[in-house]
């Protein structure tokens, strides 16, 4: 589809703390809000009426069924229903399916129509506290379009974890992954700092660290974490940092850039925990100085990776 053909490379955007969003509507009401998703999580938009939907018995109420597209069987999730809006049969006929890729999990989400692709700086994307009441919030950020319209960014990981939980983190594996591994005293006695805007991902990381009995502190975005570190009395005592890439206010790439260019923080291991797992993003993160990269659906392996990077860093310092 032409709407998705002309987008900038994710790596170029990242250097400028920018993101490109695919903006869409979920119903035919002109006054309804716009919604958005990172372009690099999308593959294409297809017309619903051109694809036969095979229903699945006893499926989750948000899982409408599956379609076959280019030989792949793709589950279709009812996004309007998740947002408490039921489409009429006529609207469903006119609707589109947005095919997305989350860490290699390919899904389709029902939308009314794709509007356009917009470029935004992460500091133009805000996470109002009103959206963060409890763990049930579906919106994690908002921004304004050129005409002043409100555009909402949803916690798509939450939708995925509700409907296809097997595609998400297996927290039970955390203890197994640490079997036989010596936990460095600095990690055992320290507090790992985490920048993550998704409540779902926050929940998984919280469980992982609590299982392992390791201290942690979570920030809702990179800007809050960087400001906290700037006021920290002893940054060298921080054992490790975990950051997402996509976050309101400040992207993970900017977090890495800031911390690795600061002599006080450049030796703290930084692990990227992201659903943006393309090779370009991994190369960009490494180029900026990130010490490791982990796919969000495999976050149960994050502690062994932190320990490995801490040990490597310690050996490097001893050899100097």
CA distance 99 to 66: 12
On the CB side of 19, how many CA atoms lie within 13 Å of its CA?
Answer: 26
pLDDT given at position 200: 84
pLDDT given at position 180: 76
CA-nearest of 292, 126, 294, 83 to 204 is 294
CA distance 19 to 11: 10
Question: Residue 43: exposed, middle, or buried by beta-carbon count in 10 A (0-12, 13-18, 19+)?
Answer: middle
CA distance 293 to 278: 11
What are the b/e assignments for 228-241, b being 16+ CB within 10 Å? ebeeeeebeebbbb
pLDDT given at position 1: 46
2-166 has CATH 2.40.50.180 classification: yes
Residue 78, classed as helix, strand or coil, is: coil
Q: Where are the domains of the chain?
A: 2-166, 169-319
Tokens representing 195 are 């920048």
Residues of the chain with pLDDT under 50: 1, 133
Is the full-model pTM beyond 0.75?
A: yes
CA-nearest of 204, 290, 208 to 243 is 290
What's 126's DSSP letter? B
CA distance 99 to 121: 25
Architecture of domain 169-319: 3-Layer(aba) Sandwich (3.40)
pLDDT given at position 22: 95
CA 97 → CA 2, 101, 105, 157, distances in Å? 15, 13, 16, 18
Residue 24, classed as helix, strand or coil, is: strand
User: Pairing relation of β-strands 105-111 and 96-102?
Assistant: antiparallel
CA distance 53 to 61: 15
Tokens representing 8 are 């900038």
Contact 245, 13 (CB under 8 A): no
């Amino acid at each position: 589809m032409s709407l998705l053909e002309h987008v900038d490379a994710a790596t170029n955007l990242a250097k400028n703390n920018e993101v490109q969003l695919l903006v869409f509507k979920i119903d035919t009401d002109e006054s309804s809000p716009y919604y958005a998703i990172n372009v690099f999580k999308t593959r294409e938009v297809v017309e619903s009426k051109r694809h036969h939907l095979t229903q699945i018995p006893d499926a989750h109420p948000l899982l409408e069924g599956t379609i076959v597209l280019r030989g792949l069987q793709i589950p279709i999730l009812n996004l309007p229903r998740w947002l408490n809006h039921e489409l009429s049969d006529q609207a469903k006929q006119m609707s589109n399916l947005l095919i997305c890729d989350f860490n290699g999990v390919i899904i389709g989400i029902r939308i009314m129509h794709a509007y356009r692709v917009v470029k935004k700086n992460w500091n133009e994307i805000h996470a109002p506290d009103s959206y963060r009441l409890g763990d049930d919030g579906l919106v994690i950020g908002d921004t304004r379009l050129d005409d002043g319209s409100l555009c909402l960014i949803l916690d798509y990981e939450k939708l995925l974890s509700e409907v296809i939980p097997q595609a998400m983190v297996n927290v039970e594996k955390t203890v197994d992954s640490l079997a036989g591994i010596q936990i460095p005293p600095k990690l055992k006695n320290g507090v790992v700092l985490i920048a993550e805007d998704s409540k779902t991902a926050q929940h998984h990381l919280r469980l992982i660290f609590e299982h392992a009995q390791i201290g942690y502190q979570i920030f809702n975005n990179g800007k809050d974490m960087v400001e906290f570190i700037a006021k920290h009395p002893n940054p060298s005592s921080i054992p490790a940092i975990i950051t997402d890439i996509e976050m309101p206010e400040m992207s993970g790439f900017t977090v890495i850039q800031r911390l690795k260019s600061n002599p006080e923080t450049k030796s703290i291991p930084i692990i990227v925990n992201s659903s943006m797992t393309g090779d370009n993003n991994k190369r960009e993160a490494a180029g900026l100085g990130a010490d490791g990269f982990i796919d969000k659906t495999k976050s149960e392996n994050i502690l062994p990776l932190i320990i490995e990077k801490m040990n490597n860093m310690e050996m490097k310092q001893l050899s100097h």
